[in-house]
């Protein structure tokens, strides 16, 4: 597998080896020793799958306390996926990295604890999978506003479909710093 480091420390793009022929393809979506070698030495405790229609934007979500790191990938369709560094005291605080994930490029995106995460669907629909380093905790969850001007994320859509929770997301500046994860 190939690992591409982003400009945000810990955020990685993984391109697994894909073995294909006229019958289809095979790839390892996770293999602990390979990912440890890639610098992703975390326990995954929960695996989730979501399906969304074109134009849906989910995020930017995070949990604090009880942060979640996520290894995300697309089973069908295509999404634009984003990680935002929200760790107070981080040299890359407020910076983001985005990547296209699709059923064709088979890329995975590792978003460590301390980052907000979100994606928007570019294809007719997309089935999205993610493994998490901590359990979902609704009492710890928060939403960062997807179009916070200070983040300057160049989302590839103008009027996304949002959940009520995501419509009420806060700008990064509006969060009490004590509610954000700390850079260590």
> Of 110, 130, 135, 136, which is the active-site residue?
130
Q: Which residue in the list 7, 61, 106, 117 is annotated as catalytic?
A: 61
Q: Is 104 considered catalytic here?
A: no
Q: What angle do CA 38, 40, 82 make, to 5 degrees?
A: 100
61 labelled catalytic: yes
The catalytic site residues sit at 61, 130
């Amino acid at each position: 597998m190939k690992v591409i480091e982003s400009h945000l420390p810990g955020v990685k793009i993984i391109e697994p080896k894909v073995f294909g022929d006229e019958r289809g393809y095979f790839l390892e979506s996770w293999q602990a020793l390979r990912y440890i070698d890639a610098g992703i030495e975390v326990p995954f405790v929960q695996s989730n799958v979501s399906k969304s229609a074109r134009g849906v934007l989910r995020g930017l979500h995070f949990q604090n306390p009880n942060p979640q790191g996520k290894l995300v990938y697309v089973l069908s369709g295509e999404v634009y996926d984003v990680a935002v560094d929200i760790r107070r005291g981080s040299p890359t605080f407020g910076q983001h990295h985005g990547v296209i994930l699709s059923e064709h490029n088979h890329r995975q995106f590792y978003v460590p604890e301390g980052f907000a995460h979100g994606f928007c669907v570019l294809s007719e629909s997309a089935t999205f999978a993610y493994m998490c380093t901590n359990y979902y905790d609704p009492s710890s969850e928060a939403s960062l506003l997807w179009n916070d001007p200070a983040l300057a994320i160049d989302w590839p859509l103008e009027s996304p479909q949002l959940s009520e929770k995501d419509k009420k997301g806060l700008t990064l500046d509006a969060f009490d710093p004590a509610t954000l994860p700390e850079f260590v």
